[in-house]
Amino acid sequence: MRKEVILNTVGLRAGYGGKPVLQGLEIEVREGEIVAVIGRNGVGKSTLMKSLIGLVPPMDGSIVFRGEAIEALPAFRRARLGIGYVPQGRDVFPRLSVGENIAVGAAIKGGLTDAGKQQIIETFPILGERWSQPAGTMSGGQQQQLAIGRVLIADPDLILLDEPSEGIQPNIVQDIARDMVALNRKTGVTIILVEQNLDMIRAMAQRCYVMEKGRIVADLDRSALDDEAEMRRHLAV
Ligand SMILES: Nc1ncnc2c1ncn2[C@@H]1O[C@H](COP(=O)(O)OP(=O)(O)O)[C@@H](O)[C@H]1O
Ligand SMILES: [Mg+2]
């Protein structure tokens, strides 16, 4: 049986200064899926993620989360509904400790509890080791784990991950991919993954949307992800 649709967009147009970047974009994601979104630099992948969480207002079209139109809701309301956003470049608070960063993420669900802390440390043990250390002193990979942990603490049903592999050592990329897949298997969390890193896409995604100029131009199944030439064509910068 096919799972329920958790999120879809209809004719989504959004951009900056009155100029649309997303040009009537349509996606449909089902509960528990891990779907990648790929495309060359500047096609609007990050704009899509920002418009899904509510940081870029839509000019037209709709975003439906679990049957509810959410395009008019502010970001914090979407977060409360169960959408977590991990921005490109991570954006952890560098002067706050790891624990304080996690507490910021927990605020949306009434604050940090011991059980919540334990859960995060179980997923990313390094965050436990560095709990009192300023986030800015950690490596890129550790900061990426923190950025993901800050979202996981609110127990989202849908995670928007924008280029988590960017600027991170290959072994940490594989760690993060493995941890996210394990979490997906364990909790059924749905993930939309924007990526350029083919290894990470293959390690995580079950299918893959290809974006060009603000539109989805292809929906590739798992077998296409293993087609090196096809994937390289879509990923070229
Ligand atoms: N804050 C912004 N203000 C104006 N234009 C922006 C802003 N952010 C992105 N853009 C433009 O929107 C287009 C899509 O950018 P983006 O969504 O970041 O692409 P991608 O993530 O696919 O590389 C680009 O032309 C970019 O220059
Ligand atoms: Mg981007």
Look up residue 135 and give its two tokens.
Answer: 């986030």
Query: First vs last Cα of the chain: how many Å apart?
Result: 38
Assess whether the C-beta atom of 43 lies below 6 angstroms from ligand 1: yes
Task: Read off the pLDDT of residues 27-85 as tens digits, 9 standing for 90 and up.
Answer: 999 999 999 999 999 999 999 999 999 999 999 999 999 999 999 999 999 999 999 99
Beta strands in the chain (DSSP E): 5-16, 19-25, 28-30, 34-38, 58-65, 68-69, 83-86, 158-162, 190-194, 207-212, 215-221
Q: Please state the pTM of the whole predicted model.
A: 0.96
pLDDT digits (tens, 9 = 90+) for 195-207: 999 999 999 999 9
Residue-wise pLDDT tens digits, 88-144: 999 999 999 999 999 999 999 899 999 999 999 999 999 999 999 999 999 999 999
Q: Which tokens in the block code for residue 127?
A: 């965050």
Domain limits, the chain: 5-236
User: Is 51 touching ligand 1 by the criterion CB < 6 Å?
Assistant: no
Which atom in ligand 1 lies closest to the alpha carbon of residue 194?
21
Ion ligand 2 residues within 5 Å by Cβ: 45-46, 88
Report the relative pairing of strands 58-65 and 34-38 from DSSP bridges: unpaired
CA–centroid distance, 73 to ligand 2, in Å, is 23
DSSP character string of 27-38: -EEETT-EEEEE
**3-class SS letters over 124-147:** CHHHHHCCCCEHHHCCHHHHHHHH
Which tens digit of pLDDT belongs to each residue from 147-159?
999 999 999 999 9
pLDDT for residue 16: 97
| Ligand 1 neighbourhood includes 50 CB (under 6 angstroms) | no
59, 14 Cβ separation under 8 angstroms: yes
CATH class as words, domain 5-236: alpha beta
With cut-offs at 50, 70 and 90, classify the pLDDT of residue 1.
Answer: low
Give Cβ neighbours of residue 69 (< 8 Å, ≥ 6 apart). 62, 63
